[in-house]
Structure 1
Amino acid sequence: MKIIINARVYLFVLFLSSLNMMAQQLGTVNGKVSLSGNKPAENIAVALKGTKYSDITTVSGHYEIKNVKPGTYTIVLNGVGIQSVEDKIVVNSKQTTTKNFTLSESQEDLDEVVIKKNKYKQDKPSLSLRLQTPVLEIPQNIQIVSGQTLKDQQITSMSDGVIRNVSGAVRLEHWGDLYTNITMRGSQIQAFRNGFNVVSSFWGPLTEDMSFVDHIEFVKGPAGFMLSSGDPSGLYNVVTKKPTGVTKGEVSVLGGSYDFYRVSLDLDGKLDKKGKLLYRFNGAAQKKGSFRPFEHNDRYVIAPVISYQIDDKTKLTFEYNFQYANMTEVGSYYVFGPQAGGYATLPRNFTMTQPGLPDTNIQDHSGYLQFEHKFDENWKLTAQTSYFKYIQQGYSSWPSLVGPAEIDTDGDKISDVFLDKGDIIRNVGIWDADSNMYLGQIFVNGKFNTGNVSHKLLGGVDLGSKDYMADWGQSHDLDTYDNPFNVYNPNYDTPSNGFPQFDHDTPLSQRAGGLYGSKYAAAYVQDELGFFENKLRLTLAARYTWISQTSSYEPTKSDSHITPRFGASYSITDSFAIYGLYDQAFLPQIGNVAPGQEIKPLTGNNIEFGLKKDWFDGSWSTSLSVYNILKKNELTADPTSNPSNPVSVVLGEKRAQGVEFDVRGKIVDGLNLIANYAFTESIVLNSNVSTIKEGSVVPGYAKHTANAWLNYTLQHGKLKGFGASLGGTFLDGRQTDTWSEGLQKLPSYFKLDGGLSYETGKIKVTANVFNILDKYLYSGSFYSWLNAYYWQAEAPRNFRVGVAYKF
């Protein structure tokens, strides 16, 4: 036995020694690729022709190809918008061959080429996702909505059609243009901005205005591992615009139906001759009416960014975003009808809001300070901190009673007052809120080899403190039982019970009824191991999270958890990869629960498999994924609770599973496509709530979702620059946002949009038409406690015309 063990040990040592000797005999090729003006060329493919040896240039333009067999090679450079470059090099044993390149193209030229050649497809995630790997090789479904997509579709905020570009993403509960609240894979996903989780309560954050947004990353499945706590269903990460080092600017003007007017400005440039001090400034002003009377939503935005390149290795960036919204009270967009009637029984432009109510205004501040330091071409340290401040002062509207109904006014019998069908007692409540978030991150990215195995290492620490407080305790019925509001004969004069007189002057901390807070600290490490010249990649990771939670409804408590992560990705060819993933999530929860119920952090796990394929030299890409998600201890709205005093219950366990398919990119020159389909199913496996049965369908998603957006621009001839677009969204098997199904299901949904554009020189004109078929589109739910349906309609056929000028 000892002889056998010794023999095995000897063979293992001999094997390691052989690998080490091989590594010592191999050579290395490195260098830097620059554009005109000595600006680093990022994302340029560098390869040794006819071999598997390759690399992609970093942000600083550097590349490095290790473990190259000695010999003479042809080195080739390829990239979007550049002419292929070739040269001869000689690689010697145990030596480093340095080869630098200077390209004649400028960054501005390349940016224009990227937009024209491949405007809907992005191959690399942002720095804020902390990954060093191309999307094709990441063992997870990540979809990126490019900045050009946002422009072509005339998207102005996160709630303005972004999700049509991602499979399985829906907003069944629209919340107007106040909160995004996206559902994906059977649950509401987390909202991130520049890698920070910006959710401080169920109702936030304020939808981001697109004026300062560069692109949006949708990460399917658990992503809280490296981006602080997150939901097992996924997240969206809004990446804001940063200085590029190219002096340029753009001003755009939009106008459209229902008194929609908007102007935005984007300035990008240098503050010194050497280009070390850069700036970016974005601003916007918007006046927006509605197809419903008495309703508006106006926005004002400023977003300056300053970056300073201290030296070749160190960079400092400061950013500030400010959004101000002045709007009709929250809930003005909802319409209510009795159970006997069902959905959409009133005209599409009907409103229950009361003219004369004061506006609700919101201030959304966010500031970021980021420090980046490269120790060398393989190791980089990033530290960033942020502060988010959210202030809301205003009102929310919701009915107290929907007729027909009998009301007990003296406590003796239920026949004192009778509301006829169509009679409603409208109620207005105060909604003043204040939120503060202090968030910090520090992480290290590194690359190194052990023998023939490559490593991409990620490790870091997250710290955060969040608090949210709100006054929901003051309310006022606008109407009386003797003189109710009737939806069939509406009277918008002074309400019968007068206007509310709420106390906004007492400090919010003294009158707030909803107090929520959390603190967390986490540490994580991930290693992506590459085998067989990085054809096979294994991801091994773990995260430790400690969370402390406070609320006005229960005492402070803390918990901690270790969540593992295992992933594998294999490149069948350079453009075709398969992957598998197992991941866990750990997410704090806060809410108002019934006595005796204990709130625990949400835990969940995800198993996912997928295929990713790039076509025709990366011009367009496809991805197919299947997944199974289990979630435990999730808080959900009590089916019998009143939204004016929301109560949550601990559900138990639920499962979501489905299939997702996405395609995006350039089909042929001038023809670009975004299309997707998702099948989603989510059910309750175990229930702690008597009114929610095992096997029940979880609310808040659509079983089938399909989207497409096709854009074609003429490349030649007298009409060069003329383009046309057509897009559609289809939803079927829509679930409401409450556990009370009512007698009527939400119908299937189909929306068709399209547009025309013309670009010549520095000017581009775009005209889009939305809801071309002029369908009565809506989302909604049934409330059992109110015995009524409510819905929010979308606008009839409407248009927007815009002119953009680049300088």
Structure 2
Amino acid sequence: MPFSFDFRARLVAGALGASLIAAPAAAQQRYDLPAAPLADTLSRISLMSGRSISASAELVSGKQAAAVRAAPDAETAARQALAGTGLELVITPAGVWSLRPLPAAGPVAALEPVLVTAGNAIEPSEGTGSYTQAESGSATRMRLSLRETPQSVSVITRQQMDDQGIVNVAQALEQTPGIIVNRDNSEGYSFYSRGFQLESFQFDGLPSLSSDGGNVRDNYSITNSVVYDRIEVLKGATGLVNGAGYPSGVVNFIRKRPTQDFQGSITGGIGSWDRYRSELDLSGPLAAQGKVRGRVVAAAEKRGSYMDYARGKENLAYGIIEADLGPRTTASIGVDHQQNRNKATSNTHLPAFYSDGTPVRFPRSTNPADKWSWRNQDTTRLFADLRHTLDSGWQFKLAAAHRNYRSRELISGMSSALVDARSHSVGHGYYPGGAARFDTDTRENSVDFQASGPYTLFGRQHELVIGYNAARNHAQSNRHDGETDALIDNAFRWNNDAAKPGVYEWWLTQNMLVNQKILYGATVLRPADRYAIILGGRLSNYAWNQNLAFANGRLVNYASEVRRKFIPYAGLTYDLDSQHTVYASYTDVFKPQAYSFDANDRQLDPLTGKSMELGAKGEYLDGKLNASIALFQLKQDNMAELDTSGARRPNGDEAYVAVQGVTTRGVELEVSGEISRGWQVHAGYTYSRSRDRDGRRVSTTQPEQVFKLATTYRLPGDWHRLTVGGNLLWQGNTYFTQAIEGKDRRFIQDSYAILGLMAAYDVSKDLRLSVNLNNVFDKAYYSGIGTYNSVYYGAPRNVLAQARYRF
């Protein structure tokens, strides 16, 4: 009969593909598989044996496979798995394997076979209750298990976000092993991995091209996380998935998708400093028996702050529609819009030094901003994709996205200049004696076409992905200056209310245009049962242009262009046994440094280098627990570092120097998932050491050692309604250097630990009450240092209580 590929069948096909790729190929090994959905077990047997198994999706949908124990070959394993399912394995004289219902009285009509192959839709983390994810495509653009991926990948699942009170990207990355979050100002963050800034972001695997630079910036750090199923972080050089970039990694935001069945939830929360938030999430079929599905998510928050005068509010709306256009064709379209409104906002933050070179220590409640300063941000993302799958398992995907970022801000307050050691006076204003208004607009368009699927070579099955990506980002910022007080008489005794300018005059317009085109491809070769070789690369064209127009008539243009730059990628995995894999990977590093200039206003040459990684990964408890260890080394030239001599560019901006022969070596250990029944954990330790060719430490604002832990435990027995847990961050010391009166002065942040606790109680199967207590011991520490020689205090002890009702 003709094959009908409805929504449920697509879920089955996705599960088949997930397991097909996840299992190690080891024909000489016995088959030991747990009881699982039949689609998953058949896919594992298919990949382990290299044999294709044909079946209609209707046959396997909803059926549970029996456990397979000590089966000596694939046929025995398949027959064990089919026990009790009402199906049997049929093998033709030509060696074709297929399934059919067990014979009944009378003739049995043969079902049209459908090849069991891998799809590209990775199952969501939502609803699994897990702190780990079985698969990821963030490293290679192919769906591989974490164990099969020859690089470090961390995943913050929906469950971890819900348990730990995570509501934005910065909070999620604060709990990601190996990632450093540096607070720049009242709304901005910078992220770092392996000693370098992490500035590559993707949405559902589609790269977003940042125009990052000065006040023309795209603030990903404030992105609300409520619309995401999970956040995947690939650490190290991104040889395949992104264009030019630091060898730090990429953050991939995976959105929530519509569900076949109706579901919904509503959440309300209240927290410290007059914090109030609410969330609504609705999903389900819209028409045609679930062939058209939709989902909407909305969130709102209003909050004060531990800093004087600071307050803000945030609104978010997200909607997506997904439709089956045919048996093997699916289309989706969606939009999300986030609105942020903040008052008493800072651009830099607190000064770090007195004029005599001794550190300044302000109370944690100190806000450097004038109470009348503000920052408003609006981000809108439109996206669409079209996917078509062939009988052979090949899938074609066309994806497009548009992003519009709008920022309006008035910046004024205490400068990060030196505080006079005697009078305690300090400079005021965005520039001495002036406030500045910035009107910034960023528009980005991107498109990606990708084809992926299996192929047979020398009697074995392999996988291939090829694609093309193009992105364009145009940003414009207009700056208007107004006069205000030039000096704060006493940095410790002022009311954040300097004279407000009456007139703002245009001073500067910045225009930035970035274009990037990438041709990429990779293959997973399986020459033997235990081995997999990943080979690929990307060919990039990158062009950047900045035009500056000043009020005095001066025009300045900067440009950078790289054409046909090829970045190779190679990876190797070897299965030691059914649970453990060792791996190695290599890729080149290349990043044009369009925004880094020396004191002579000369643009620094591109950052170049090589990235290597060796490691081992383990998969335990039927895939519920993942563990890994990675050794990495990065070698680079032309690394941009702030010029600590005090020299600045002719326009007054900070100058950089190119550091040669920088070597970064380190180790990462990570474990995620369920370590015993009801006990979820996500923990990691990272040691990363960066030195130049003279042995001097670089990237000093990043700690060399970091440990992170997030965990929950559901109590057993009569206490099963109660879940307790928490999170811990420990990091080593950091510092930055500032030249004062001809001497280099260090501002040191000692090592510190921050503890958070949580508890949740299930009043019923639908209603959950939870509370998150952060910074339990009220530790005073700096969550950011070094941005324009300023420092930022971390938040004191605070609490968030929430109630979530599901229906």
TM-score, normalised relative to structure 2: 0.82
Structure-2 change in CA distance of 1:754 and 1:656 (3 Å) = same
Structure-2 residue corresponding to 1:136: 147
Q: Whole-Å Cα distance in 2 between the matches of residues 141 and 42 of structure 1? A: 24
Counterpart residue number, 1:614: 619
Give the partner amino acid of 2:340.
A
Q: 1:159-308 residue pairs with structure 2 within 5 A?
A: 159-160=170-171, 162-176=172-186, 178-189=187-198, 190-195=200-205, 196-202=207-213, 203-206=217-220, 207-308=222-323
Q: What's the counterpart of residue 628 of structure 1?
A: 633
Q: RMSD of aligned C-alpha atoms? A: 3.6
Instruction: Report SS of the residue matched to 1:150.
Output: helix
In the alignment, the residues of structure 1 paired with residue 447 and residue 8 of structure 2 have an alpha-carbon distance, to the nearest angstrom, of 37
| 1:542 partner letter | G
Q: Which amino acid aligns with 1:773?
A: F
**1:803 shift after superposition:** 0.4
Q: 1:563 maps to what in 2?
A: 567
Residue 513 (structure 2) pairs with residue 513 (structure 1): no
User: Kindly tell me: are residues 226 and 353 of structure 1, through their superposed partners in 2, closer, same or farther at Cα, counting changes over 3 Å?
Assistant: closer
Which of 773, 778, 792 is the equivalent residue of 1:769?
A: 773
- CA 641–379 in structure 1, closer or farther in 2 if over 3 Å, else same: farther
Deviates further, 113-122 or 264-273: 113-122
Report whether the alignment pairs 1:463 with 2:488: no
Q: Which amino acid aligns with 2:724?
A: A
Cα deviation digits, residues 623-647 of structure 1 (max 9, x gap)? 1001111233344444436799534
Matched, 1:754 2:765: no
Q: Does 1:662 align with 2:670?
A: yes
User: Letter of the aligned partner of 2:98 in structure 1?
Assistant: T
Shift of the alpha carbon at 1:518?
Answer: 1.4
Q: Which residue of 1 aligns with 2:703?
A: 702
Name the aligned partner's letter for residue 369 of structure 2. T
SS at match of 1:349: coil
CA distance in 1, matches of 2:750, 2:234: 29
Structure-2 change in CA distance of 1:516 and 1:398 (3 Å):
farther
- 1:769, 1:83 → 2: CA distance? 50
Query: What secondary structure, in the 3-state scheme, does the structure 1 residue paired with 2:631 have?
Result: strand
| Equivalent position of 1:425 in the other structure | 428
Structure 2 vs 1, CA of residues 631 and 714 (structure 1 numbering), >3 Å: closer, same or farther? same
Q: What is the CA-CA distance between 1:113 and the residue it aligns to?
A: 13
Instruction: Say which of 524, 537, 540 aligns to 2:532.
Output: 537
Deviations 1:114-150 (A, max 9, x none): 8787510101115896212211111111111101100
| Letter of the 2:802 counterpart | G
Deviation at 1:399, TM superposition (A): 4.0
> Quick one: distance in 1 between partners of 2:288 and 2:378?
36
SS at match of 2:334: strand
Unaligned runs of 5+ residues in structure 1 are 1-30, 103-110, 406-417, 686-692
Q: Kindly indicate whether the alpha-carbon contact (under 8 Å) linking 2:444 and 2:474 is maintained by their aligned counterparts in 1.
A: yes
After TM superposition, the structure 1 = structure 2 runs for residues 664-679 of structure 1, keeping only pairs within 5 Å, are: 664-679=672-687
Distance 1:512 1:332, change over 3 A: closer
Matched letter for residue 769 of structure 2:
V
Evaluate the alpha carbon distance shift between residue 164 and residue 234 of structure 1 in structure 2; reply closer, same or farther with a 3 A threshold: same
Other-structure match for 1:40: 12
Measured in 2, the distance between the counterparts of 1:112 and 1:199 equals: 28
Which TM-score applies when normalising by structure 1? 0.82
CA distance in 2, matches of 1:623, 1:439: 34
1:352 equivalent in structure 2: 368
The 2-side partners of 1:128 and 1:706 are apart by 23
Q: Distance in 2 between matches of 1:283 and 1:365?
A: 14
**Distance verdict in 2 for CA 1:96–1:37, change over 3 Å:** closer
Q: 1:212 Cα deviation (Å)?
A: 0.8
CA contact (8 A) 1:72 1:90 kept: no
2:380 to 365, 387, 409: 365
The corresponding residue for 1:27 is none
Matches of 2:688 and 2:746, distance apart in 1: 23
Change (3 A) 1:567 1:638: same
Q: Do the aligned partners of residues 384 and 282 (structure 1) sit closer, same or farther apart at CA in structure 2, a change above 3 Å counting?
A: same
Structure 2: distance between partners of 1:85 and 1:453? 30
Cα 1:556–1:350 change in 2 (3 A) is closer
- Look up the equivalent residue of 1:616 and give its one-letter code: L
Distance 1:592-1:33 versus aligned 2 partners, 3 A rule: closer
Aligned match of 2:443:
436
Which deviations, in whole Å up to 9, do the C-alpha atoms of 1:544-596 show, x marking residues without a partner?
11112211254444212111111101111122111000111333432262446
CA distance in 1, matches of 2:593, 2:258: 37
Partner of 2:494: 490
**1:322: Cα distance to partner?**
0.7
The letter of the residue matching 2:334 is E
Shift of the 699–56 alpha-carbon distance from structure 1 to 2, 3 Å rule, reads farther
Q: Which residue of 1 aligns with 2:589?
A: 585
Aligned residues: 727
* Separation in structure 1 between the aligned mates of residue 730 and residue 311 of structure 2, nearest angstrom: 28
Distance 1:739 1:733 in 2: 20
Does 1:501 find its partner at 2:489?
A: no
What's the CA shift string for 1:49-83, capped at 9, x where partnerless? 98569999989x988556549995342798xxx99
Secondary structure of the structure 1 residue equivalent to 2:183: coil
| Matched residue, 1:597 | 602
**Do the aligned partners of residues 743 and 235 (structure 1) sit closer, same or farther apart at CA in structure 2, a change above 3 Å counting?**
same
Structure 2 residue ranges without an equivalent (≥5): 53-72, 103-121, 548-555
Q: Output the CA distance in 2 between the equivalents of 1:632 and 1:94.
A: 58
Matched, 1:547 2:542: yes
Change (3 A) 1:802 1:737: farther
